[in-house]
Amino acid sequence: MKPDHGKSAHEEHGAPGNGTSQPIPGRDKGIHGDIESMAEDMYRRLLVSIPLTLLILPYSMLVRELTGIELPVPFWLNPNVFMLLLATPVVFYGGWMFYVDAMHAIKNRIPNLAVLVTISVLSAYVFSVGATFFFKAETFYEAATVLMVFILGGHWLDLRARGSASSAIRALLELSPSMAKVIRDGKEMEISTAEVKVGDTVVVRPGDKIPVDGIVIEGESSVNEAMVTGESVPVHKISGSEVIGATINQTGSFKFKATKVGADTALAQIVQLVAAAQASKPPAQVLADRAAIWLTVQL
């Protein structure tokens, strides 16, 4: 429905296959920031569209027939002209992004729900303008604006949900430490976690976060894995035990051999699953897009 507004801005730290850490998808703000800004923009459009739509409704044919009340029009305007003035910002400011999306969809010959929204709203609006100035007929300004408000509201809720998922991804990424202590050439040094290679010997002391996945080769300790596995009881680690990146070492010190780094770690896999779930369409939306293609072709 919505065009792709961006991808992760993150760059690779090493060539594939050389054993260096690969970037974790979503590490930078990237698409998460875009989703939040899109939600804010949609909310602003709603704030404009809802009050104007509520002002239009009392003057619509349906409400007049149901209530039998004829409200006076401000400034002695013609009721249709008054509704036109109110509906125009809703139709064009509220729905502009849908029209742009619809133009791209038509250009690429892939009709979607934006095309149906555009046809529905603009046809009601254009017909109403014609009925206001050129011929006698009932106007449908309220239909165009109410439809636009419902569409905007649905997209705003969708973007809010996606933004919550994005916040969850960022919270997961913050679990991973930025630095790691490794032994190279017989010396202990502190390097960026992104520079850790498969096979490196990593040193972990009490209170440290484990930077990458690996297997303990020396020492023993208890590790709090609750942030990854949900297990509240610390797990005792001895030589040969597997450790998970982003978990917290508690009591002792140990060394482990790095077996999975970067995008291959358990934390990165969790992030990828959450990101994939966020990007995927629910079955109802897939069905709606298929229906949109069929209806657009029929039109």
The pLDDT averaged over each successive group of 10 residues in the chain (299 residues) is 39 38 41 71 93 91 77 82 94 93 87 85 94 91 93 88 74 81 90 90 92 93 85 89 91 92 86 74 67 61
290-299: long-range contacts at Cβ-Cβ below 8 A with a sequence spacing of 24 or more? 292/111, 292/112, 292/113, 292/115, 292/116, 293/110, 293/111, 293/112, 295/116, 296/111, 296/115, 296/116, 296/119, 297/111, 299/119
pLDDT of residue 7: 39
Q: What is the distance, to the nearest Å, from the Cα of residue 113 to the centroid of all Cα atoms in its chain?
A: 18
| Beta-bridge mates of residue 237 | 221
Which residues, 6 or more positions from 111, have their beta carbon under 8 angstroms from its beta carbon? 105, 292, 293, 296, 297
The answer to whether 244 and 213 are in contact (CB under 8 A) is yes
> Could you tell me how many residues make up the chain?
299
pLDDT at 183: 92
Whether the CB-CB separation of 256 and 214 falls below 8 Å is answered with yes
Cα gap 128→125, rounded to integer Å = 5
The whole-number pLDDT of residue 293 equals: 65
Q: Cβ contacts of residue 17 below 8 Å, gap of 6+?
A: none
Dihedral sign, Cα of residue 75, residue 78, residue 79, residue 81: negative
| CB-CB contact of 100 with 55 (8 Å) | no
Structure pTM? 0.61
Q: What is the DSSP string of the chain?
A: -PPP--------SS-TTSSSPPPPTT-SSHHHHHHHHHHHHHHHHHHHHHHHHHHHGGGSHHHHHHH---PPPGGG--HHHHHHHHHHHIIIIIHHHHHHHHHHHHHTT---HHHHHHHHHHHHHHHHHHHHHTS-----HHHHHHHHHHHHHHHHHHHHHHHHHHHHHHHHHTTS-SEEEEEETTEEEEEEGGG--TT-EEEE-TTPBP-SEEEEEEE-EEEE-HHHH---SPEEE-TT-EE-TT-EE-S--EEEEEEE-GGGSHHHHHHHHHHHHHHSPPHHHHHHHHHHHHHHHH-
Query: For position 231, what pLDDT does the model report?
Result: 78
